[in-house]
Structure 1
Amino acid sequence: MPAAMSARPLDEWANTRTQTFDIAALKGSAIGIHATHYLDLHLNQYVTKEPLLIALGGFPFALQANITRELQALKAAEVTPIFVFDGLDAGKPYPDFSAQTENAKALQQAWDYYDQQQADQVVDAFSGAGSAHPESLYKFLQRILQSEGINFIVAPYAASAQLAYLEKDPHRFIDAVFGPAELFFFDVEKIITKMDTELRHFSWVTKSLCQEEFGRLSNEQFLDLGLLLGSPFLPTFPPFETPGYPGKRVNIREALGMFNSGGRNALTLCSQFEEDQRIHELDYADRFKRAFMTITHHVIMDVDGKVGPLDPENASSDLHELIGQRLPEELYFYISKGIMGSRVPNWLTSGELLLSLPLGAEDTPIYRRLLTEKLPPIRTQALCLLSNSLHRFYQTKVINVRAWYDDKTDKSIHLKDLPSVKDTISSWRIGGKQLPESVQKLQDNSPLLTFCLSALKEQSFVSKSFSPKDAAALTSKQEIVSNVTWRFLQLRGYVDTKHQLTSWGKALESALSSLNPSDNLEEPTFLAIELIRLGILNAKDWFPNISGGPMRGSDEEQQHNLLISRVACFGKIQHKPIGYSGPLSRQLLSFRSLVSTVRATLRDLIEVILATLLLSGEASRDREDWAELGLSLPFIDDNDCGLAIAVRTYLDDLPQEPEPTPQIVRDEVKAKGKEWFQHSHSFSENLDTAFHLWDAVYKATQTAAKEPMVDSKLWDDTNKWLSARR
């Protein structure tokens, strides 16, 4: 496991004061691992960081192999890891739009180097421009843990508080904790900071040593200083940072001197700097009080599954003001098992929905339109459906929507004004025994989405697919996942209230049925059709003045190349488990961001459908396959733009040939793929995958030719052009 490279000053300082032991000392121990911190280390430590990942999007190519190797080494050392993930946000979110601006500037500089072909600068510039948020990799990591038979839980709120409970509880669920220095805030005495499974040693540091070296700070003084230095609970105290040098590391000794001059009291220090504009803008003193109380009264899930304060005897009476509104115990349980993520519940408990610009995404009119005009109906469905299954308090909530480009946006979602979503889909509760033999055969031989659509072509099945209100609860994983998917397809407009395929449902079914299941193109095809319906997957110039589009051939040929490359954006390049090295495209990365945002929104919706099926008692809760159940739903895998770049590069090279269509010419251009993409698997096979994806999406456009979002002539002309060049 990589050593901590976190930018947080307390972590950096603590990592220089560790003791190192042989990993054999942990034999027979259970180690609680802070999942967010663990992923952050892999994303940012120089040994495992993939510097061009931010310019490609998607998941790191080597991450799964690296994590699997570490987990197997721990197993061989007879160490039992237990991963704990962060859950809901505590209180209302505070968006850090200034940090977003700084990252965007750094990324702009990296792209400038790339466009100027300054190869020696490019890699370092992208590497220093930021990295993916660990939260975007939660399901990815949970899937690895599940396949390796390793337990994990999602904390109700902060993973650090949950880990502190697991270590301090009389049952002693874990013997040691591997995680960030913020664990000291929750009175964890020893923290493992590094665990190197190859060198077979680990390092740890104690809270008492840190307190001693800081001048014998008391527990409360240490918490004050720790918060001021910066953590997930509170940004760094601005006077600790050097003005004009954003990102410059805090000097711990200087910060400690300042803290001592304030009487070793954070609020006294804040009052000394109350004229500082940065303190005023952040409302820092108030945020400090909230952070201090949030840690003091943090909420955890106990051994019996009850959710409450870590220190119930001294809990604050207005805890909901700090943490947010309480959810039903049952929903916390489903979150803890990975049945659903925290995003939609966060919106409900905080009453805030923040629209942010992910790192790598361009702030363009089409991205703003996607988030503010095209996706709100899906988000509203998810919110409404979840609230339908909760207390009336949540059914009448008002959710305020704020966007990164206008922090004072006054848009809101009034849940009490919306009709029930739950009632519209409740007729889907079909047990496995109700499926005709022909439909059962389909289920056994087809991927999930393909099966659910193809089954509805069987009219004998459709007529019997309506379930009465007193229908038996669904029991098997297959039954539950199928009914969740039928409900999802209805909410997305592929199936109507009579359980018949709509025109888009027929188009989607024709596309998915044409696929070879071994190509794993079902989800990419589905997402491509979603973006056609949203009016985004076409050849329009969404990103003017952004580099990386097709450059050769006539305007018409470039338009064809652009559309084919955008379709390839929904797939993933097959690549060796090593960091990417090859051409980049800012334009295709921008389009990939649109795809990724839609995928995440659909994942939110389908998770809510599963959670509400369980909350309403329509599916059996007496089960042990919770993790597997949540991981069986689609839309976990994020897409990169590597496959799109491969397609664009190939199609852009052909016009340099006097005759671009003869087979020998195409083979010669494909042979260059080894030079362009050094670490990818077969270039020709990657192109074949992209073109199979194109075939399926094109088939859908033929079936839905009369739909307003389908430019049939463009798709037909492009397909004809491609057929001579593939």
Structure 2
Amino acid sequence: MPAPGPPRTVTPLSIGGSIRNFDAWSSNRLQTLPISVLKDAVVGIDAGNYLKKIIDGPGTKEPLVPALGGFPFSLRNKIEDDLSQWHQAGIKPLFVFSGIQFLRTDKASSTSEVAAKNRSVAWQLYDIGHATQAVEAFGDSGSLQPVEVYRFLRQILVENNVEFQVAPYAAWAQLVYLERHPKQFIDAIFGPAEVFFYDVDKVITGFSFARSSFSCLNKKAIMQDLGGLNHEQFIDACILSGFDFCPTLPILEKQNSSLFKTCLDFLKTCRSATGIVNQYSESPAIKDSGYLDKYRRARLAIKHQPILTDEGYIEPMSIDDAPGDMHEFMGNRLPEEVYFYLSRGVIGSSVLDMIVSGELHELPPLDAGENESYRVFLEGLQTVRAQSLALLSQPLQHWWNSRKISVIYWYDKPNPRVVTYKDLSAGLYESTSSWNVKESVFATALAAHPGNSLLGFAITGLTDKDLAAKTYTTKSNENLLKTTNEVVLNVFWRTLRLREFIDKDHLLTPWGKVLSTALGTLDHNDELEEACYLGIELLKAKMLRADPNTLNQYSGRDADRRYCSLISRVASLGKLRHNSIGYTGPLSRTLLTYNSIIRLMSKNLENLMQMVLTSLLMNGDADRNDRVDWKQIGLAIPFVEDINAGLGIAVKTYLDELTNTEDPTSYETRLKIQKEQLIPQMFVQSVDVMADVGKAFRLWDAIMSGIKAAPEGLIQDAPKFAEADAWLKARRPVS
């Protein structure tokens, strides 16, 4: 556990959650208590609510995250500091993450589209030099959703020996179960307002370590201020106000400051949400909205919210009177085994969300999604999505294989694309089932592999044809995959087979040789294996190339711009080391667009690997009994942390500054730009910007080595890479 930093308020003290206007209504009802009250207590924490407070909270929010992509630079330090402060106070945290998303509404889509428009305005301000207003506009535009940070938070929790679990659906319901259980697994809940849907006395809303206190909200105090309304009517008020699983009552959508109070006042006269909707049934806003059905589904979902019991079963909160048609408001139920892997953090919920809901809503990316190349790439991902769904459905009941998933794009909502995977389901698993490689086969070779990187070894190890031949293995029920390395490596090999880097005979394909050569060129101390793999995937997808439509954002002649565009895109795959503070420095909308493409590719590859892992486990290819490494297996899947465009921007800035001089290739010019604080002053909070630029160029060298190893005709843009490489050689930093 790291030593705590200076005491601070861990989060905004208001309760948070998705119930509109409840924060404002309840803020003057908060109670403050000394933190010593919680000594030796186990506090259950809603991970999503906690992350949202950090990401968006006053004093902790980093306004340029929407302009840069990735995660806030201070996020890790803030989380680790909070863990240290809790430890010092004698508090044991137990984080609970939300699982499958249910009751989809248009809220996420509409909110995201408004945010995208706000970011477009921010970019316009930036382009005309109104930096201060642009920063404010970016900060107000919203971007990062807590679910995007879940794996990163889990990694930090595992590193600090802090327990977590993933709820089958809503974390707030799981927390209530843990507190109300006869064994009382937790002593208190630090969570959102949704916890009050249930019979809970108090909810912790925030900590102020500087004052050695915490704030909480008392259910009794809330009920006393309802003017005689009962608990069921309180729930109605929350739903009518609008929350994650039900929109606001349409006639109240434009209300903000007094929305929750207005809902309470309505209920004092109409007594129920149904009565209110019926009274205003002829209102144009309500008449064709289907609101009553949405309300009823939300009401049922709250009452019968599924939770994971201490015995490992998935059961409704009110199991005694649960209806037989829960699938109507919760989606179809998956097998218990899938929920188990979800609960341990072995897999995420993205593919599960798709198959349960039958929908995938594609929301605009950070750059607002106006770039045509992004949309073309987005629609070209149907194959990898179908593979992920097929791998998940193959070991399930046959019904799941015939599901059709509607992909709804924000720019073409009336015309959803349909993903089908029925024809893939059986054959896809069979094509990977010859990978059951035991540690006795690969242990010696892995030990000799620089850095012991499993991802790098999975591809470079197969250059040894003797080892490749030994990897062709059938499943032995008496000798299943057991160790963490065995499970993870076989997942990587199976994935690389599906991605066509390895053929059916376990030999490298031409693209496999490109990837192997590139990875083999890296210095393992640079930790660039994931970036290099992702770069070759993008190259294979014809998405690692200069964008002719954005060359006006670079300096110099057309050739200079093309080369800088291509090189800075490769650099965008790497990581800019930065102090634990908000970013200050140049921005680039074109590289933010490319960051969105990188993220799209990495998330779909992450999903595919997780479903390969699920397929391996559910088909009984690994020993599933008494494992204690579930969390480690889940975190071994790459792409835990989203990268930002920072390193790409640093490389672009360095090359543009050279281009703007009279002699960009001279020793003196390069020395001046890198040594006389020109670039370091532009990236004042970076740890060592020029060292990172050098690392980016080593990543470029690795990818170039792969391109040079490709057979003629495999990589259409190979000559353009060669030209850019020759141009770059004379512009490298002075060593």
1:592 aligns with 2:577: no
Partner of residue 48, structure 2: 36
Please report how far the alpha carbon of residue 57 of structure 1 lies from its aligned counterpart in structure 2 after TM superposition: 0.4
Partner of residue 5, structure 2: none
Q: How does 1:323-342 map to 2 (within 5 A)?
A: 323-342=330-349
Q: How does 1:212-291 map to 2 (within 5 A)?
A: 212-242=224-254, 248-261=256-269, 263-280=270-287, 282-291=289-298
1:623 aligns with 2:632: no
> Among 46, 55, 61, which residue is 1:49 paired with?
61
Please report how far the alpha carbon of residue 469 of structure 1 lies from its aligned counterpart in structure 2 after TM superposition: 3.4
Percentage of identical aligned residues: 37
CA contact (8 A) 1:361 1:593 kept: no
Aligned residue identity for 1:598: M
Q: Distance in 1 between matches of 2:200 and 2:530?
A: 43
CA contact (8 A) 2:154 2:164 kept: yes
Q: How does 1:324-403 map to 2 (within 5 A)?
A: 324-373=331-380, 375-403=381-409
Partner of residue 3, structure 1: 12
CA contact (8 A) 2:179 2:186 kept: yes
- Identify the range of structure 1 (675-684 vs 99-108) with the bigger mean alpha-carbon deviation: 99-108
CA contact (8 A) 1:44 1:131 kept: no
Q: The residue matched to 1:198 in structure 2 has which SS?
A: helix
CA contact (8 A) 1:230 1:237 kept: yes
CA contact (8 A) 2:409 2:416 kept: no
Change (3 A) 1:277 1:101: farther
Q: How does 1:464-475 map to 2 (within 5 A)?
A: 464-470=470-476, 472-475=479-482
Unaligned runs of at least 5 residues, structure 2: 1-9
> Among 633, 653, 661, which residue is 2:637 paired with?
633
- Identify the range of structure 1 (186-195 vs 153-162) with the bigger mean alpha-carbon deviation: 186-195
Partner of residue 441, structure 2: 434
Q: How does 1:657-668 map to 2 (within 5 A)?
A: 657-668=661-672
- Identify the range of structure 1 (616-625 vs 306-315) with the bigger mean alpha-carbon deviation: 616-625
Q: Distance in 2 between matches of 1:542 and 1:4?
A: 46
Please report how far the alpha carbon of residue 705 of structure 1 lies from its aligned counterpart in structure 2 after TM superposition: 5.3
Q: How does 1:303-318 map to 2 (within 5 A)?
A: 303-318=310-325
Q: How does 1:174-185 map to 2 (within 5 A)?
A: 174-185=186-197
Please report how far the alpha carbon of residue 282 of structure 1 lies from its aligned counterpart in structure 2 after TM superposition: 4.0
CA contact (8 A) 2:13 2:215 kept: no
Superimposed CA distance per residue, residues 184-238 of structure 1 (whole angstroms, 9 cap, x where no aligned partner): 0122221101112333210111122112212132111000001111211212223
CA contact (8 A) 2:233 2:267 kept: no
Please report how far the alpha carbon of residue 320 of structure 1 lies from its aligned counterpart in structure 2 after TM superposition: 1.2
Change (3 A) 1:445 1:571: closer
Change (3 A) 1:221 1:501: same
- Identify the range of structure 1 (204-213 vs 597-606) with the bigger mean alpha-carbon deviation: 204-213
Q: Distance in 2 between matches of 1:490 and 1:141?
A: 30
> Among 567, 575, 579, which residue is 1:576 paired with?
579
Q: Distance in 1 between matches of 2:720 and 2:356?
A: 46
Please report how far the alpha carbon of residue 4 of structure 1 lies from its aligned counterpart in structure 2 after TM superposition: 4.8
Q: Distance in 2 between matches of 1:236 and 1:229?
A: 5
Partner of residue 148, structure 1: 160
Change (3 A) 1:199 1:410: same
Partner of residue 87, structure 2: 75
Q: Distance in 2 between matches of 1:401 and 1:42?
A: 31
Change (3 A) 1:602 1:281: farther
Please report how far the alpha carbon of residue 93 of structure 1 lies from its aligned counterpart in structure 2 after TM superposition: 5.2
Q: The residue matched to 1:83 in structure 2 has which SS?
A: strand
Q: Distance in 2 between matches of 1:408 and 1:150?
A: 45
Superimposed CA distance per residue, residues 430-483 of structure 1 (whole angstroms, 9 cap, x where no aligned partner): 11112373x243357431222111221111112221112335211110111111
Q: Distance in 2 between matches of 1:695 and 1:416?
A: 42
Q: How does 1:477-492 map to 2 (within 5 A)?
A: 477-492=484-499
Partner of residue 97, structure 1: 109
CA contact (8 A) 2:569 2:648 kept: yes
1:118 aligns with 2:126: no
Q: The residue matched to 1:15 in structure 2 has which SS?
A: helix
Q: Distance in 2 between matches of 1:250 and 1:100?
A: 24
Partner of residue 453, structure 2: 447
Q: Distance in 1 between matches of 2:103 and 2:417?
A: 20
Please report how far the alpha carbon of residue 339 of structure 1 lies from its aligned counterpart in structure 2 after TM superposition: 0.6
Change (3 A) 1:658 1:705: farther
Q: Distance in 1 between matches of 2:350 and 2:285?
A: 29
CA contact (8 A) 1:701 1:710 kept: no
Change (3 A) 1:490 1:305: same
Q: Distance in 1 between matches of 2:284 and 2:570?
A: 48
Q: Distance in 2 between matches of 1:541 and 1:29?
A: 59
Unaligned runs of at least 5 residues, structure 1: none
Q: Tell me the TM-score normalized by structure 2.
A: 0.94
Please report how far the alpha carbon of residue 94 of structure 1 lies from its aligned counterpart in structure 2 after TM superposition: 4.1
Partner of residue 681, structure 2: 675
Superimposed CA distance per residue, residues 475-508 of structure 1 (whole angstroms, 9 cap, x where no aligned partner): 1101111111100111111101100000010010
Partner of residue 651, structure 1: 655
Partner of residue 7, structure 2: none
Aligned residue identity for 1:600: K
CA contact (8 A) 2:73 2:579 kept: yes
Partner of residue 197, structure 1: 209
Change (3 A) 1:276 1:10: same
- Identify the range of structure 1 (20-29 vs 412-421) with the bigger mean alpha-carbon deviation: 412-421
Aligned residue identity for 1:691: F
Partner of residue 4, structure 2: none
Q: Distance in 2 between matches of 1:174 and 1:630?
A: 25
Partner of residue 108, structure 1: 120
1:602 aligns with 2:605: yes
Please report how far the alpha carbon of residue 107 of structure 1 lies from its aligned counterpart in structure 2 after TM superposition: 1.0
Q: The residue matched to 1:577 in structure 2 has which SS?
A: coil
Q: Distance in 2 between matches of 1:562 and 1:157?
A: 43
- Identify the range of structure 1 (294-303 vs 348-357) with the bigger mean alpha-carbon deviation: 348-357
CA contact (8 A) 2:366 2:593 kept: no
Q: Distance in 2 between matches of 1:678 and 1:250?
A: 44
CA contact (8 A) 1:490 1:496 kept: yes
Aligned residue identity for 2:161: G
Q: Distance in 1 between matches of 2:274 and 2:365?
A: 34
> Among 529, 542, 556, which residue is 2:536 paired with?
529
Please report how far the alpha carbon of residue 280 of structure 1 lies from its aligned counterpart in structure 2 after TM superposition: 4.5
Q: The residue matched to 2:204 in structure 1 has which SS?
A: strand
Please report how far the alpha carbon of residue 97 of structure 1 lies from its aligned counterpart in structure 2 after TM superposition: 3.1
Change (3 A) 1:583 1:469: same
CA contact (8 A) 2:98 2:167 kept: yes
CA contact (8 A) 2:475 2:621 kept: no
CA contact (8 A) 2:149 2:641 kept: no
CA contact (8 A) 2:237 2:260 kept: no
How much is the aligned-residue C-alpha RMSD, in angstroms?
1.8
Superimposed CA distance per residue, residues 554-591 of structure 1 (whole angstroms, 9 cap, x where no aligned partner): 11111111111111111111100100001111111011
1:518 aligns with 2:525: yes
Partner of residue 6, structure 2: none
Q: Distance in 1 between matches of 2:220 and 2:129?
A: 51
